[in-house]
Structure 1
């Protein structure tokens, strides 16, 4: 079985009761909102990762202000020629503050649009689970940095 681990860092940027999101485009063309952020390069510090990724996807310069938590997801797959696989995503989630730059869309990346959304509108958006996990961590500030939405103990 092929195993894959991906470590990524994401930002929860909230100001004036709005959250900054990037619209992720899946390989099949499906578009859903996500937290700005992405994969950590080998040897890269996670704080540097989140700052770089937010700027790439939104145009904003940011300063992480708190580590909100770490989320882990696991998915199995069966590919036609590659056989079974087991993917684990380790997602480091920070609270971050916009310090400069200007809102713009990413070109040539995995997202196609960046925008601020009212917090109360988030439940109605087509979004990935990570948005809900990030907002839960931001609101609840759990002592061990684990969202109740993905904690196996809440099963």
Structure 2
């Protein structure tokens, strides 16, 4: 069975009771809100990945202020080949603050829009699970950086 590992870094950015999200477009054209972020380039430091990805997807310059946690997912489909296999995604989640830039959508990437959303409305959005994981890590700051939402012991 083919295996694939993807390491990515994501940003939780909350300001004035609003959360910065990017709208991800999947291969079929469905759109769901996600944390700004994405895959690490070979040799890239995770902190640089999250800074680069926030700028690419939102137009903002960001500074990581805390490592919130690391999340791991498994799927039975490979991302790159879109076929059967064993996919594992390792997602490094940082808290970031905006230091400059201006809000704008990404062009030619995997997202098509970036926006601030009131924290109270986030649960009503059409979103990926990573948004809930990031918010839970941000709110609870678990000592080992593991989300209770994906902890098998909470199954």
TM-score normalised per structure 2: 0.96
Structure 1 equivalent of residue 148 of structure 2: 148
User: Hey, what's the Cα distance between the residues in 1 that align with 2:146 and 2:57?
Assistant: 25
Question: Whole-Å Cα distance in 1 between the matches of residues 45 and 84 of structure 2?
Answer: 31
Structure 1 SS opposite 2:43: coil
Give the superposition deviation at 1:82.
Answer: 8.3
Q: Counterparts of 1:91 and 1:133 in 2: how far apart (Å)? A: 10
2:12 counterpart residue number: 12
| 1:54-93 alpha-carbon deviations (Å, 9 max, x no partner) | 0000000000000000000000038xx9863010000000
The unaligned stretches of length 5 or more in structure 1 are: none
**Corresponding position of 1:71:** 71
Separation in 2 of the partners of 1:103 and 1:77? 34
Match of 1:88 in 2: 88
Q: Match of 1:28?
A: 28
Q: Shift in Å at residue 37 of structure 1?
A: 0.3
Structure 2: 5+ residue runs without aligned partners? none
Secondary structure at the counterpart of residue 56 of structure 2: helix
Question: Aligned equivalents of 1:91 and 1:126: distance in 2?
Answer: 20
Cα deviation code 1:76-131 (max 9, x no counterpart): 038xx986301000000000000000000000000000000000000110000000
Distance 2:82 2:149 in 1: 32
> What residue is the counterpart of 2:111 in the other structure?
111
- TM (norm. structure 1) is 0.96
RMSD after superposition: 1.6
Secondary structure of 1:98's counterpart equals: strand
- Runs of 4+ more than 4 Å apart: none
